[in-house]
Structure 1
Amino acid sequence: MANENANAVPEPKDASTVILVRDAESGIEIFLLQRVQGMAFAGGMTVFPGGGVDKSDATAEVEWAGPSVEWWAERFSTDVARAKALVLAAVRETFEECGVLLAGPTADTVVADTAGYAQDRVALEKHELSFSDFLKKENLVLRTDLLRPWANWITPVGETRRYDTRFFVAASPTGQIADGVTSEAAEVRWQSPQDALAHWREGGSILLPPTWSQLTELAKFSSVAEILAAEPEIPVILPTLITDEETLRVEFPNQDGYYVAGPHPWSVKAAK
């Protein structure tokens, strides 16, 4: 029995990631966060804000503005309860990790400045406060219409920590400042997709396949309006982890260009 458990494939946990975008003189820019070294998952990697779904996300009772939960369930090919939790997690994690809050006093407004919620943000990150209680306390409406569904990636079989991650895109609200005031960030920056990819090719960052793929796709757009108007197909992408005695390699759709830059720092000797 012990051997069977040791060889069991971990079930992926639900997670949400939000790609924050804004218009700049040279085109669009994307908010990127370099995770702290030594973290259990993706330590040192450059990622978008996001994280796992909490139990409180599934049971949250909030004022909801925008597309219905049923619409989100259809777009992400899942059930209503799961869709609700994924959307709540997307907004919550974005607030926790970079201070951007996709909520407002009414269904057609958005918070202009989140600095006054700093203590609540810390409490949320420490799981001392639920997101629904925070929204109720501040009389805020969840603005799901500011989000768009974008992609769905599952961590390959073979990894000890696995996530079924839904990717969203959202325009960074005017007046709000995305920051790195979180225990999970070593550094944050706004970059165009092209510059982020160039920085990666030069060895300045480490991009896992899902992040690289989203940056590559977003490099095709010239404005936030174009991104928000897009309605991409959202297939479930489950990369294949290939290991030998020396290296790790991930095979995934449309990977041309990912390995052109040479070996990646995470492609280290396989664990023995």
Structure 2
Amino acid sequence: MSRSDKDEEAFRNTMTGLPHKSSSTKAHASPKKIPVASPSASILLISPSNRILLLHRVQTSTSFASAHVFPGGHLSPQDGYLPPLEDIRRHEDSKAYRRAAIRECFEESGLLLAKRQDNPSELVELNEQEREEGRKAIHSESIPFAQWVQKQKGIIDADGLIPFTRWLTPANIPKRFSTQMYLYFLPIDSQLSSKTDKTQMHIPTPDGGVEHTAAQFLYPQEWLDLTLRGAIVLYPPQFFLLHLISAYLQPSPSNEQSIPTSELQSQRERLLHFVEMDGDPPWGEKCISPNPIKKIENGKYLIMGMADVGPELEGTGRKGDKERVLRVELMDEIERGRKRPSPQEVVWRRDVFPEESKSNL
């Protein structure tokens, strides 16, 4: 997903704005038309050794330069039917979102999440030439993705995607998205569960202009630590979700080169239980529209709420996360004369707003 400088500045202005009412309430109080939230999908792709893939955007990008993101992007008509704008089902998990997530993942990272037709228990294998030719063909839309996968004797593994939150851009941003996030576990293979997962890393091939310079698997906490050291840039959704899964996908405490298959599987099972069973509603059903709540420490930090669901889903019964908030540092970008939100910590809301807990007693 990409934004122009103007859209990105609007996004950042929202992240650094003064406390205001929820985006949903503000949207209904304003006579201005709410920009349409474009449908998109992203994948938290987990390697055979339970590391997670992030893509590094180029430094010269006009939006989110040098940021690390999950593979994903816009839905295309080829991905399938979506309900009309006024239908709330437009913001629910569906085949179209799943196909788009897998298509975009292949375009951006070269990893094809498709099962073999002759052996559905295995993924389709591609050599480097097949992979790069396929990525260019799909990106240029010279052939529909589903048709190309079929030519590779594969079946798009839409069933392998596990819903893991939906994110709606706040209503006062000019360019908005309704993004379905998914988890996907690459098969555990002892031969691929090395310390670096080198067989699952590569630099994306340019398709008329490079959007990402590298694709790399690291443990969630490693990505978070790099962010806190200022070595990489993460934006709130990526930081928040990486924080959630960091409690489950971890390296061996003994610093061994590899983790036993049984422990890898156990980590995955615990994460799945969290996503599918924990919370009200479970994380697979939550919808989050980040909402700046208040500035603290003389405006150096911003507390962002995760309870809002966005104007499209207000009154539908959908829920966000009422228990956690995100503390964001407002970093000066001298060359651009503005501030960039740098996530620092996910904390319990009750610890930041103890008065709310007392009022509920």
Whole-angstrom CA distance in 2 between matches of 1:15 and 1:236: 14
Quote the residue 2:45 is aligned against. 20
Answer whether contact 2:58 2:212 (CA < 8 A) is retained: yes
Quote the residue 1:67 is aligned against. none
Quote the residue 2:289 is aligned against. 238
Aligned match for 2:325, one of 252, 255, 258 = 255
Root mean square deviation of aligned Cα:
3.3
In structure 2, the CA distance between the partners of 1:212 and 1:91, relative to structure 1 (3 Å rule), is same
Quote the residue 1:85 is aligned against. 96
Whole-angstrom CA distance in 1 between matches of 2:45 and 2:92: 25
Aligned match for 2:147, one of 126, 129, 133 = 133
In structure 2, the CA distance between the partners of 1:49 and 1:87, relative to structure 1 (3 Å rule), is same
Whole-angstrom CA distance in 1 between matches of 2:293 and 2:91: 35
User: After the TM superposition, which residues 1-272 of structure 1 pair with which residues of structure 2 at under 5 Å, given as runs?
Assistant: 8-24=33-49, 28-39=50-61, 41-58=63-80, 78=89, 83-106=94-117, 107-113=120-126, 115=128, 116-173=130-187, 177-182=200-205, 183-222=210-249, 223-229=267-273, 230-231=275-276, 232-233=282-283, 234-240=285-291, 251-253=304-306, 254-256=324-326, 258-259=327-328, 262-264=329-331, 269=338
DSSP-derived class of the 1:20 partner: strand
Answer whether contact 2:164 2:180 (CA < 8 A) is retained: yes
Deviates more, 1:119-128 or 1:11-20: 119-128
Q: CA deviation at 1:203?
A: 0.7
Answer whether contact 2:55 2:214 (CA < 8 A) is retained: yes
Deviations 1:103-135 (A, max 9, x none): 122233311345323201111122222212212
Deviates more, 1:101-110 or 1:223-232: 223-232
Q: CA deviation at 1:15?
A: 0.5
Q: Unaligned stretches of 5+ in structure 2?
A: 1-31, 82-87, 193-198, 250-266, 277-281, 307-323, 340-361
Give the structure-2-normalised TM-score.
Answer: 0.59
DSSP-derived class of the 2:133 partner: helix
Q: CA deviation at 1:148?
A: 0.8
Between the two structures, name the one with larger relative contact order (CA 8 Å, sep ≥ 6): 1
Whole-angstrom CA distance in 2 between matches of 1:80 and 1:11: 12
DSSP-derived class of the 1:34 partner: strand
Whole-angstrom CA distance in 2 between matches of 1:127 and 1:241: 39
Deviations 1:131-157 (A, max 9, x none): 122123223112223211111111223
DSSP-derived class of the 1:207 partner: coil
Q: CA deviation at 1:36?
A: 2.3
* 1:13 maps to amino acid: S
Answer whether contact 1:102 1:143 (CA < 8 A) is retained: yes
Answer whether contact 2:80 2:95 (CA < 8 A) is retained: yes
Answer whether contact 1:247 1:268 (CA < 8 A) is retained: no
Whole-angstrom CA distance in 2 between matches of 1:241 and 1:157: 13
Q: CA deviation at 1:82?
A: 6.8
Deviates more, 1:195-204 or 1:150-159: 150-159
In structure 2, the CA distance between the partners of 1:265 and 1:10, relative to structure 1 (3 Å rule), is farther
Quote the residue 1:69 is aligned against. none
Whole-angstrom CA distance in 1 between matches of 2:226 and 2:92: 39
In structure 2, the CA distance between the partners of 1:167 and 1:249, relative to structure 1 (3 Å rule), is same
DSSP-derived class of the 1:31 partner: strand
Quote the residue 2:255 is aligned against. none
- Among the aligned pairs, what percent are the same residue? 24
Q: Unaligned stretches of 5+ in structure 1?
A: 1-6, 60-76
* 2:216 maps to amino acid: R
Answer whether contact 1:239 1:250 (CA < 8 A) is retained: no
